[in-house]
Structure 1
Amino acid sequence: MTEVQSPKQRQNDDEIDLVELILELWKGKMLILAFVIACFCLGFAYVKVVAKTQFTVSTGYTVNLFSGEVFSLCRQDQRCLDGRVAHQYANELAGNWSIDDRSSTLTQHIGAAPQNLNTYSSDLEKANDRLTQSFLQSAKEELAIVTSLSSDLRNTETVAESVLHAKRMIYQIETGKMKALTLTTPVVQKKSPKVALILVISVLLGGMLGVFAVLMKKFVAELKSRS
């Protein structure tokens, strides 16, 4: 008959096994440390030699003006209005800029060393000026088209609303009171590599490999003793 162990006996055996495991890991601490140091050095070498440093340039924006086309498409949907103007603005910029509509942020990823912040500010403002002037030209063209319509069409609510919007935009731009967007000062941040994270992962990986090596060493030794 098979002897059945009581719960207390099984608990004592588990405690003994755990103590033996801890003692075995303590005996192999130098091997574990060697793996940790090796993986740390590999992670450090990856950060310094292999990984490419990348930066991001970001700026916040607030939309002030909407072209007649955007206004007619979106009407009173503020998110739609802001999003379409932001995409028009991104098309005016040189480089690959991405737009985050939720945070109203424009971001560009840079593989090389970033330029001076004044350079980015100047480029962003020039693009803002070009977009503003394109809105101004569109508003003037829209007014010219409206004046060529018959009086019946000019008196409709939709046309009257478009005329009012165009005149307001022309006034705001020509008097210098407003541009298409208001931009915040650009911010440059290092995106990658994330040195601290990589080194922490390297140390953890080295520790796990070291523990595995110690347990495998014990397992092989037990197999040899049985044979």
Structure 2
Amino acid sequence: MSIGCLCIHGYTGSPEEVQPLVDFLEARTDWEIVNPTLPGHGEDLDLEGHYYQEWIATAELALLDLQKRHDKIYIIGFSMGGMIAAYLTAKYHLDRLVLLSAAGKYVSLPQMCKDVLEMCADAWKGVLADNELFRRYKKKMRDTYLFSTIQFMKCVQFTRPYLQFVRCPVLIIQGELDGMVPRAAATYLEEEIPSDEKEVIFLKKSKHLICHGDDQEELFDEVLDFVSQ
């Protein structure tokens, strides 16, 4: 029995957001793993004029291509990619779903305030350039258009109703220090998804970019254990 695995990155992101997990799985399985770049995304953002339907269609075409060659399909979605993954799981009755920092709800104001205060403190010390969160999001904030942010919100609104049609086993993982997606998002997903087999894991030292966090080894092991059952 052959297995295909589709990974979907988040809004304003790139495949690099989930690539550490992809590398881990490729070293330990014989699956075909696909990690596409959504239109307008990537290391050089060009979001202007791209609609959320394009993002979903790109992921869907990659899925349909995998289905031509494999008996089972696992799907892993990060942030907005998690919502797209849930939609595709419901539509195509996929075998296993992994949601990483999935944006069923977005923006944790308390944690975001903490992150901003940390950036201010680093700026006061003259070491803001060393702040990892600042470095990662500086370019994104400069290159993100209001139109595109509206498309992100529309994508979440479109995919949310499909959560109730997910029936396969689901693993939900959330960082405790996530300033973009609140802890309540994981609880919301657990409540909305009616699957009989669900597991929710909170990683204490991880922020939003969970595949690059201090808990990444625990994350990778949990994902491999879940999809190998």
TM-score by length of 2: 0.23
- When Rg is computed on C-alpha atoms for both structures, the one with the higher figure is 1
Pick 1 or 2: higher relative contact order, CA cutoff 8 A, min separation 6: 1
TM-score where L is the length of structure 1: 0.23
